[in-house]
Amino acid sequence: MKKLVSLGLVASLSFAGLVACSGNEAETSADKTTTSTETSKEETATTGEKVEIKLWLDDDAYAEAIEPAIEAAYPNIDIVYEKVGAVDARSKLELDGPAGLGGDVFIQPHDGMSESIIANILLPLGSEMGEMIEERMLEGAVGTVKKDGNYFGVPLATESIALFYNKTLLEENGFEVATTFETIKEQAAQYNDNAANKHLIRWEPGNSYTNQFFLTAAGFNLYGENHDDASQVNLNTQEVIDGLTFFGSMKEYLPVPYADLNWDTIHGEFVKGNLPYMISGPWSLAEAKQGAEENGFELGVTTIPTINGVQGETFSGNIIACVSAYTQHPTEAKQVVDFLASEEGLQIMYDVQGKIPALKDASVIEGVVEDPYIAGILAQAEYSQPMPILPEMSKYWGAAETMYRSVWEGLSPPEEAAAKALEDYNTALAMTE
């Protein structure tokens, strides 16, 4: 395909240093681009010349499908595709953007948004596109692109963990699909055989992303009710202690060290048909469906079971389309982002990549609602919280991970683990000041 440039970038989870900026600066930047965008649009219409928009994506097949669709919708635009890993895009733009070599439009995961906003590399999208985002996108996804009233990207795809189940195996043991963790415990008491390493349910108890629902079911609000107040990390609170207490009680029904509960022993065993339940995300769907077909079991996906009658909220993870603050063609770059988030654009994304559109009404995308597995993940996505886009969030993961692992291994009671988590978090923050 024309203009295909592969940079061969390897995904990296490391992030570059942060450069401070303010919401007021972002608003000023948006105001300054208004005149230039209108001028650019008028000049293009007058001359009939196409505007080249460099588009950074991380999937050749998706790029091959989306490029001609954008150019058909906007004949004034000529897409130049470069393959750049989503997790690399932010740090690469910080280097290439000032030199005029960066992408005009790029995608990145939710957890890079705070660093991108602080580094002032994102063009605010304006109130009109903001209204579209609020109206069409899942609430949990909106929170990952909005800061101080500005919108710095458009959520394209969403993901949340959910409960995967082997209906065939459950029925063989006389079990209904559990909707509560109390039922999980009752079924596990009948099903488990610890000597044979046979357990009803598996997940990653050492993963602070996965375990969030244990705390939220107990009332935990990370960074406050709106998840945007850095002064309210709320780690050493009664809600966290209560959540950790129930979390720790599950060790009786899954007496396995956290280090031994990994992709192979969770996902691998489920795919083989040996595990009634696992907690995972849409990244497990393709192999789970294949495993169900090859091993003759009926697969299901549904919401995380309730705890003490409360539906725990999971983190909302999202893929975001952003416009570079360095673009020379902001109007056309916004048009590209608008298309990526359109029904046609999201249909292409779903058809090619199988990613779940971050829409309130996913029924507009053919095949999504009809897919019972995606429907199960979307059902849990309704009970999800936007992952905070505060820079302090990067210090939360490690502190919380140690907290969960200490409780799971019986090294600390919940009260001590929560207190230590707050201490670790504050220490990590102090080291960056």
Q: Is 196 exposed, middle or buried (0-12, 13-18, 19+ CB in 10 A)?
A: exposed
Asked, colleague to colleague, whether 4-158+318-386 and 162-315+389-432 share their fold, the answer is yes
Average pLDDT over residues 409-431: 97
pLDDT of residue 19: 34
pLDDT of residue 40: 44
pLDDT of residue 41: 42
Global confidence as pTM: 0.77
Please say if the pLDDT value at position 237 is more than 80: yes
Please say if the pLDDT value at position 252 is more than 80: yes
Please say if the pLDDT value at position 382 is more than 70: yes
**Helix-, strand-, coil-residue percentages of the chain, each rounded to 5:** 50, 15, 35
pLDDT of residue 140: 77
The percent of residues above 70 in pLDDT, for the chain, comes to: 89
Spatial distance between the Cα atoms of 89 and 95, rounded to a whole number of angstroms: 10
Please say if the pLDDT value at position 107 is more than 60: yes
Pairing of strands 51-57, 77-83: parallel
Tell me the pLDDT of the chain averaged across its residues: 89
Q: CA–CA distance from 130 to each of 25, 92, 187, 336, 384 (Å)?
A: 18, 26, 47, 15, 21
Fold of 162-315+389-432: D-Maltodextrin-Binding Protein; domain 2 (3.40.190)
Nearest to 295 by CA among 269, 273, 274: 273
Band of the pLDDT at 27, cuts 50, 70, 90?
Answer: very low
Average pLDDT over residues 397-425: 98
Domain ranges for the chain, please list them.
4-158+318-386, 162-315+389-432
Q: Class of 4-158+318-386 per CATH?
A: alpha beta
pLDDT of residue 401: 97
Burial 88-127 (b: 16+ CB within 10 A, else e): bbbbbbbebbeeeebbbbbbbbbbbbbbbbbbbbbbbbbe
pLDDT of residue 283: 87
Greater model confidence, 161 or 7 = 161
pLDDT of residue 3: 37
- Lowest average pLDDT, out of 22-31, 202-211, 389-398, goes to 22-31
Spatial distance between the Cα atoms of 205 and 240, rounded to a whole number of angstroms: 15
Spatial distance between the Cα atoms of 390 and 363, rounded to a whole number of angstroms: 32
Average pLDDT over residues 354-358: 90
What is the per-residue DSSP string for 26-43?
HHHHHHHHHHHHHHHHHH
Strand partners of residue 180: 306
Asked if 253 contacts 188 with a C-beta cutoff of 8 angstroms, the reply is: yes
pLDDT of residue 411: 98
The pLDDT tens digits of the residues spanning 132-170 come to 999 999 887 898 899 889 999 999 998 899 999 999 999
Tokens matching residue 37: 């965008």
Nearest to 378 by CA among 346, 353, 356, 363: 356
Asked if 365 contacts 347 with a C-beta cutoff of 8 angstroms, the reply is: yes
Residues whose CB is less than 8 angstroms from the CB of residue 185 and which lie 6 or more positions away in sequence, other chains included = 250, 253
Spatial distance between the Cα atoms of 302 and 372, rounded to a whole number of angstroms: 9
Quick one: DSSP state of residue 86? T
pLDDT of residue 39: 43
Q: CA–CA distance from 309 to each of 24, 188, 254, 304, 382 (Å)?
A: 43, 19, 22, 12, 17
From first CA to last CA, the distance across the chain in angstroms is: 48
